[in-house]
Structure 1
C-alpha cells in the first residue's frame, strides 16, 4: 500500500485544511494519463469516490482511485515546498 513520508503527510494535511471545510475531505490521487504514459493528478476531494482506497491517519486522508492504488502499491509519496510556495509530490520506491 502507498505510504506517505512525514513531509507529505504534513503538506497534504495543510493543503486539505486550507482548501476544504469538509471534515471528511482528503487528498485524491487519480489517473490523468494514458495506459502507455500513466500520469497521476492530485486534487482535494470532499469524500472518496466509489471504489477509492482510503489511506491515512488522523491528520490526513488520501483517496486513491482503484487503478492508482494498484499502480502505487509499492511506492512512497514524498512532498516538498519550494521557495515560491509551490508544492511538488514525488513517488519513491518503498525500502526493501
Structure 2
C-alpha cells in the first residue's frame, strides 16, 4: 500500500483544513496510461482505494493503486508556495 512521509501528510492535512470542499487528494492514472495526476478531491470515485494515514486521506484509482503499492509519497512546498510531490521506493 502507498505510504506517506510526514511532509506529505502535513501538506494533505493542511489543504483539507484550509480549502473548502476538499476532503482528500486523489491520485489517478492519466489517459495515456503512463503518468499519474494528483489533484484535490471532494469525494472518492466508486472504484478508488481510500488510504488514510495520520489524518490525511488519499484516494487512488484502481490502476494507480497497483503501481503505487510499494511506493512512498513525499511532498514539499517551494519558495513560491507551489506544492510538489515525488514518489520513492519503500524501504
Report the TM-score, using the length of structure 1 for normalisation. Answer: 0.86
RMSD between aligned residues: 1.4
Gaps of 5+ in 2: none
1:57 Cα offset (Å)? 3.1
* Matched residues, number: 91
- CA distance in 2 between partners of 1:17 and 1:40 (Å): 24
Q: Does 1:86 align with 2:82?
A: yes
* Alpha carbons 1:20, 1:46 under 8 Å: kept: no
Going from structure 1 to structure 2, the CA distance change for 1:18 and 1:56 (only over 3 Å counts) comes to: same
Q: Paired residue for 1:49?
A: 45
Q: Deviations over 1:2-53 (max 9, x none)?
A: 000000000111122222346xx11110012523xx1111111111100100
